[in-house]
Amino acid sequence: MSLHNALSDEKFWKIIAVWWHSLDDDRGQRAELRRAKTPAEVYISPAYRDGIVRNLTQFALTESELERLALPIGVLARVRNLTSGSHFAALFGTRGKGSPAMRDVRFRRLLAIANDNTDGMDENRDELFRILVRMVRLTDDTATLNGLIKGGIWWNDVTKREWARQYYTHRTN
């Protein structure tokens, strides 16, 4: 099964949610993932391999797909509150700290990050990781699972349009 197909499977999302909740009981795993400064550091960490990767073995994800998944998992390890029903960009538009003008500047920086290249391990992904971590902090460590995971895996023009649509239609002044 590919990562694309896994994202359509309810079991995948349940495993991610259960794993995220388990971080409350496994602070060592959370701390190790939170110390990672890049998606590559998440990918090579024992916490990533022994935690979420082990739980996803039934999906037979390739190493390349696991490298892509490391980015949103590293960001998710910094989240303290998950909300449902909303996109992360919409959440940032409504609950992000700072003035609306500053949120707009931060959001435009996110959208300015170049699309992924084919290998998924480049400095653009490092910048995407840093900005998403910052945005999570600015939403009081709150995020939504679906948009954060999908956007972190595939950062491209389609993702950017969806994030822009969610942010600009939900932002508050």
Question: Which of 76, 103, 79 lies closest to 92, judged by CA?
Answer: 103
Residue-wise pLDDT for 91-119, tens only, equals 999 999 999 999 999 999 999 999 886 55
Give the pLDDT confidence score for residue 118 in this predicted structure. Answer: 56
Give the pLDDT confidence score for residue 119 in this predicted structure. Answer: 52
Nearest-angstrom CA–CA distance, 119 and 82: 29
Find the angle CA(71)-CA(106)-CA(133) to the nearest 5 degrees.
30
Region of 145 on the Ramachandran plot (φ > 0 left; ψ -120 to 50 alpha; else beta): alpha
- Tell me the three-class secondary structure of 89-123, residue by residue: HHHHHHHCCCCHHHHHHHHHHHHHCCCCCCCCCCH
Task: Give residue 52's pLDDT band: very low, low, confident or very high (50, 70, 90).
Answer: very high
For all residues of the chain together, what is the average pLDDT? Answer: 93
- Do 98 and 170 touch, CB atoms closer than 8 A? no
From residue 34, alpha-carbon distances to 4, 131, 166 in Å are 26, 14, 27
- Is the pLDDT at 136 greater than 90? The verdict is yes
Residue-wise pLDDT for 21-50, tens only, equals 999 999 999 999 999 999 999 999 999 999
141 vs 122, higher pLDDT: 141
